Amino acid sequence: MTAVGTTSNARGDLMFSGRTMPRSAPLIVIVGGLVLAGLLTAVGLGPVASIILGVIAVDIALPVWTAVVVNRRAATDRLVTCLVWTALLCAMAPLVWLLVTTLVSGIPAITVHFLTHDMQTKLNPVTFKMESGGGVLHALIGTLLVTFGAIVISVPLGLMCAIYLVEYGRGKQLPRMVTLLVDVMTGIPSIVAGLFALALFAQFGGIGTRMGVMGSVALSLLMIPTVVRSTEEMIRLVPDDLREAAYALGVSRWRTIVKVVLPTSIGGIVTGVMLAISRVIGETAPLLVAIGSIDVIQTNLFSGRIQTLPVFIMTEYETSTPQGYAFAWGGALLLIAIVMVLNIIARIIGSIFAPKISG
């Protein structure tokens, strides 16, 4: 009986019995915070500082109002809720600001000419003057080729490494060392990967060698750790009961991996690979070191320099001209669009291949 009474009292405390706050209280306080931010901006305070002070005022006013009307427990709950929402806004504000700035600055540069021409200087047959091509097509093609080369290198290596760590290396010393090395590779600076590719190919082609495949090798060094770790975690999630059932039917280990383990975890593996691609597609330092820059379309990964979108953005911004700034923002918008498309594809593929759970 005592236990029942105690539970009932606790539930009563949690329900904040007694007076309650009006439903419109949060809206009223938020409007007040916006009015305060507007007044502070009107008197000369910066808009960012005004918004910050307005948010702080909301976080203070709403819990205090709750403490006066209800009780301290309800005020504490309201304070934590306000802090959680404030943290969410702080995390989302830079992302939204970045997207809005890129859209506003990049959309004017996105034209048919910009998407279908490279930057090669050509002779205008009408004015007989040398004019720049003013396009990003060569950078788009180069980005896709270099990234595709990195996928071809890193995905098979990362997938087989993860399979070994989970399926063949349980309880052994070597997998622990491999896991440590993979974790170390995850944190290496990207420019070091570019220097490695430069030094590797200098052994064959001499100092000063620049090829698109060098950028693919550099990016693959950054992709492999992500592919390994994501694939490893997905394979570990496959229940051991499925493996044991296959072994009980006399299926060999490699066939169990191919027919049972990989199909079960393919959704998560594809998502991890797409996230790894999104992580490296915007790298600038390794590509600038390994393959340099060029103004014309280059489609051969094994012959000469290749332009990529990150390097294109950097080189155009360094021109310090209005046209260069416009081209840089246009390239940035295209890069964000590519990353967004890749993430959408990853989610679609993950939902298609995810194991169906019967309810």
Give the pLDDT confidence of 56-106 residue by residue, as tens digits: 999 899 889 888 888 888 889 999 999 999 999 999 988 898 899 999 988
With respect to residue 123, please indicate whether it lies within any of the assigned structural domains: no
pLDDT at 156: 92
Same domain for 185 and 301, yes or no, is yes
Nearest alpha carbon to residue 297 among 311, 308, 288, 310: 308
37-41, 246-250, 355-359: least confidently modelled range: 355-359
* Closest CA relative to residue 149, chosen from 221, 204, 210, 209: 221
* Pair 99, 135 in one domain: no
CA distance 187 to 222: 9
Supply the range of the domain harboring residue 291: 131-353
pLDDT in tens, 241-271: 888 888 888 888 888 888 888 888 888 888 8
CATH number at residue 182: 1.10.3720.10
Residue 8: pLDDT above 50?
A: no
The mean predicted confidence, pLDDT, of the chain is: 83
In DSSP terms, which residues pair with 130 in a beta bridge? 123
Q: Are residues 65 and 160 in the same domain?
A: no
pTM (whole model) above 0.85: no
Same domain, 192 and 76: no
> What CA–CA distances, in Å, run from 349 to 265, 267, 330?
12, 6, 29
Q: Does residue 148 lie in a domain region?
A: yes
- pLDDT confidence of residue 152: 93
Residue 354 DSSP SS3: coil
Final residue in a domain of this structure, among 93, 108, 123: 108
What pLDDT score does 320 carry? 80
- Is position 113 within any domain? no
Domain annotation covers residue 39:
yes
Total count of residues recorded for the chain: 359
pLDDT of residue 122: 62
Domains in the chain, number: 2
Report the b/e string of 273-296 with b at 16+ CB within 10 A: bbbbbbbbbbbbbbbbbbbbbbbe
Per-residue pLDDT tens over the stretch 339-352: 888 888 877 877 77
- Block residue for tokens 């080729």: 145
